[in-house]
Amino acid sequence: MFTSVLMIEKPLTSVDVEFVTTLHGDEGVSFIVLMQPRGDQADLLLRAIDDVAMGELKEATRESDEPEGKEAREPAELALEHSLRALRGAGCEAVGQVVEDHPLDKMKAVVEEAGADEVIVLTAPHYVEEFFHRDWASRARHKVGVPVLKLFAHSE
């Protein structure tokens, strides 16, 4: 069984589920999902700049509406549960948790505890952070000790 630590910031879509569950062909995959609420991972200005860079001007003006801190916990838990059900429905083993503090430290600990084979970071594009190599995948590559694959999430 191949074990992947999957870091997400929003619920998995059906396209995301198909994408991550078919990466290793017919080999069985077990997922440990780490849900990082979007509200606390990047500052408001960076998120707005990313939206503008992607041509999503309306989204840039709504960035202040994103729940943050304790308000982000309940939506994150719902997104995690939805994602776990979707992965299980695709025939994979899946467990997970919402990560609020020190997500890279938590990712490293989970990789070590589970003996994970890889980390998959599935997020929306974050152009400013990626340019400066401050995105989750770039930072994880120097910390977790296993291959890190960065994929862009789909929206439905």
Q: Are 128 and 50 in contact (CB under 8 A)?
A: yes
The pLDDT of residue 75 is 87
Give 123's DSSP letter.
E
CA 46 to chain centre: 17
What are the CA-CA distances from residue 102 to residues 4, 7, 41, 98 (Å)?
19, 13, 10, 12
Amino acid 49 reads I
Query: Alpha-carbon distance 153 to 15, whole Å?
Result: 9
The pLDDT of residue 97 is 96
* Sheet strands (E) in 9-92: 29-35
Partnered with residue 2 across adjacent β-strands are 29
User: What SS3 state is found at 148?
Assistant: strand
The pLDDT of residue 150 is 85
Residue tagged 């467990």 (tokens): 95
Positions of the chain with pLDDT lower than 50, given as ranges: 40-41, 60, 63-65, 132-133
